Amino acid sequence: MKLSAIKNIISDIVIVRDAEFYELGLTATQCSVSMLSFLENTKYIDELLSNATISCAIVNPETAEMIKDRTTIGIAVSESPKHSFFFLHNYLIENTDFYGQSDGSIIDPSADINSTAWISKTGVSIGAGTIIGPHVSIYPNVRIGNNVTIGANSIIGGEGFECFRFQDKAFMVKHAGNVLIGDNVDIQASCCIDKGLFKNSTIIGEYTKLDNLVHIAHNVILGRRVFIAACAMLAGRVTVGDDAWIGPSAALRNGITVGNNGYVSIGAVVTRDVLEGQMVSGNFAIGHDKFLQFIKSIR
């Protein structure tokens, strides 16, 4: 799609330099093809300039001036880049095929679907031997592998939580991505697994197991054999390596990474990356040994 073509959708932008893009994404998003992004605040200009997959950007006049010599980036100027960007994104989802079209849902005949489950008639595929429990809700853009179980009242493929204020209103950003659940995954009751925001995915790796009431936000990527205990909360874009343990009631801030075999203690509020094999505890979480030392000092 040409940057100049979005002028037909958002009238109050000015095209400074035209270019092509194939996807939309945040400046923090890594994409396999050229993408359109935006910058609301000039302060984060380095994030924009260091992301080589960005071929087009919606920016404010000040930023436009600063990047005018960067000829690899097409530029559209808006007084409110974030609003323009997400308005375009929502428009493309609702009115165009930019994000693709959903086919009819495909459920393997050997899958066991509870009669009270609700499964979208389009955009869902469910593999062989998979069991879908009572009152499960499965939205479009969900691909579930073989021998998976989804426990009662869980919701797969719901909208993620991306919202922004504009003037005296506030808006939700629609989600165009999907959820990919690998073979032999088990998800217990009342979990929520949201879909990806752009042309990307929330991924649950093979053999990974989730307890009850777990929240998996948009674009989380879980490795293989990850165990996530009850009431844990994984915010957007969290990445968890193979064989990690996420304790019950833990909360992981958006964007962080937990390495292979990482161990997050019960109730830990994790705001920094967890290294391979590292154990962290506390609110905010720190290395477990230092944490125990601290607790002993006040106990």
| 153 contact partners, CB below 8 Å, separation of at least 6 | 133, 134, 135, 136, 189, 190
Using the rule CB under 8 A, which residue among 2, 14, 79, 118 binds a copy of itself? 118
Contact between 192 and a copy of itself (CB under 8 A)?
yes
Q: Give the closest residue to 154 by CA, choosing from 124, 120, 189.
A: 189
The footprint of a copy of itself on residues 146-165 (CB under 8 A) is: 149, 151-153, 155, 158-159, 161, 163, 165
104: DSSP letter: B
* CA–CA gap between residue 267 and residue 253 (Å, rounded): 13
Footprint (CB under 8 A) of a copy of itself, residues 11-30: none
Of 49, 108, 224, 278, which one interacts with a copy of itself (CB under 8 A)? 224
Tokens of 268: 């830990």
How far apart are the C-alpha atoms of 99 and 115, rounded to whole Å? 31
- Of 24-32, 67-75, 79-87, 219-227, the window that binds a copy of itself (rule: CB under 8 A) is 219-227
| Residue 249: burial class (beta carbons within 10 Å; 0-12, 13-18, 19+) | middle
Is 218 an active-site residue? yes
- Cα dihedral sign, 99-130-115-190: negative
What residues line the site for a copy of itself (CB under 8 A)? 114, 116, 118, 133-135, 137, 139, 149, 151-153, 155, 158-159, 161, 163, 165, 168-170, 172, 184, 186, 188-190, 192, 194, 207-209, 211-213, 215, 217, 224-225, 227, 229-231, 233, 235, 243, 248-249, 251, 253, 266-267, 269, 271, 281-284, 286, 290-291, 293-295, 298-299
Hey, which residues are catalytic here? 218
